[in-house]
Amino acid sequence: MSTAQRLQERVPAELLNDAFNVFREASRKLEQQYALLERRVEELNEELAEKNRVMERTRRLAAMGEMAAKIAHEIRNPLGSMAIFATLLERELANDAEKRKFASYITNGINTLDNLLSNMLLFASAPAARLKSVDIREVIEDSILLVSGYERAGGTVTSEFEGHSIIMADGSLLRQLFLNLLINAMDSLDGGAGTVGVSAKVIEEGRGPMLVVQVRDTGKGIPAEELDRIFDPFFSTKERGTGLGLAIVSAVVNAHRGSIDVDSKKGEGTVFTIRIPAE
């Protein structure tokens, strides 16, 4: 007699049937679970492949960033010599207004390129502030001088200072900050008449002296819906803008543990207010 026959004799057929049903149900559930697991493994594999693609892209972008920084350095040196000779040329042509104007185009073009390269280098390196004693008045006046012949300049630039002007800050970072704010302010005039004003003062606050600088323009203003995005890298509404200017401004302010506010009315103008601890 076989084992099955002997079992059948001892265990009632119904019970066996029930047991088989339970067994079949359990194995059906197991199969379902298995299919689910298989699908999850497939999903995870896809996710992994996507992550690998992103990582590869990030690696390539980082390499490109490094290369861009190297190229920027390489361009900078000859640009420096060009700037010196263009200035000499302008001096040489002091008595010929027409020719001098053409020479000044070279200087302005060089300044624009230099600003672009500085922004790129700063963006690639996330700047840290090296604090030294600087005369903020000089930094601002230098920046104004640099943009005064700026190719898109239309209006006039005024500046005013209050109180002492020697502070602890990173002069070259601040210069880059003012250049970007001033160029934006000039751009906002769209070649038309208007004014750009810079005011700076050191005030005493609870936590010590604070440098407060305002850069204001009577330009076209910033639409409310764009205000949230102007500090984002690569956000630009200009045909030839890289959108790095205000990203650098914000990085420089952060490097000094300062703050920046913007107040703008479409069609009326914009005020950028920067506060930087001065000690």
Ligand X SMILES: Nc1ncnc2c1ncn2[C@@H]1O[C@H](COP(=O)(O)OP(=O)(O)OP(=O)(O)O)[C@@H](O)[C@H]1O
Binding site for ligand X (CB under 6 A): 180, 184-185, 188, 217, 219-222, 230, 235-238, 241-247, 270
Quote the least distance from Cβ 65 to Mg ion, whole Å. Answer: 20
Residue 224 CB, nearest approach to ligand X (Å): 12
- Please state the closest distance from residue 99 (CB atom) to Mg ion, in A: 31
Nearer to ligand X, 12 or 191 (CB): 191
Minimum distance, C-beta of residue 120 to Mg ion, in the bound complex (Å): 13
Structure tokens that stand for 263 in this block: 């107040």
Tell me, what amino acid is at 240? R
Among ligand X, Mg ion, none, what does residue 230 contact (CB within 5–8 Å per kind)?
A: ligand X
Coil, helix or strand for 244?
Answer: coil
Least spacing, CB of residue 168 vs ligand X, in Å: 26
Kindly state the number of chain residues that form the binding site for Mg ion, as judged by CB under 5 A.
2
Structure tokens at 40: 């999850």
Q: Which residues, including other chains, have CB under 8 Å from residue 16's CB and lie 6 or more apart?
A: 7, 8
Nearer to Mg ion, 65 or 243 (CB): 243
Residue 235 binding partner per list ligand X, Mg ion, none, with a CB distance cut-off of 5 to 8 Å that depends on partner kind: ligand X
Burial class (CB in 10 A: 0-12, 13-18, 19+), 213: buried
Q: Which does 143 bind (CB under 5 to 8 A by kind): Mg ion, ligand X, none?
A: none
Q: Give me the sign of the Cα torsion angle 20, 24, 30, 33.
A: negative
227 CB-near residues (< 8 Å, 6+ apart): 262, 264
- Nearest 5°: the CA angle 151, 197, 252 is 80
**176-205: which residues touch Mg ion (CB under 5 A)?**
184
Closer residue to ligand X (CB): 109 or 241: 241
Report the residue closest to ligand X, judged by CB: 245
Looking at 155, 245, 258, 269, which residue binds Mg ion (CB under 5 A)?
245
**DSSP-based three-state secondary structure for 93:** coil
CA distance 144 to 152: 14
Taking the C-alpha atoms of residue 183 and residue 143, their distance in angstroms, rounded to an integer, is 10
- Shortest gap between Cβ of 196 and ligand X (angstroms)? 9
Residues in touch with Mg ion (CB under 5 A): 184, 245
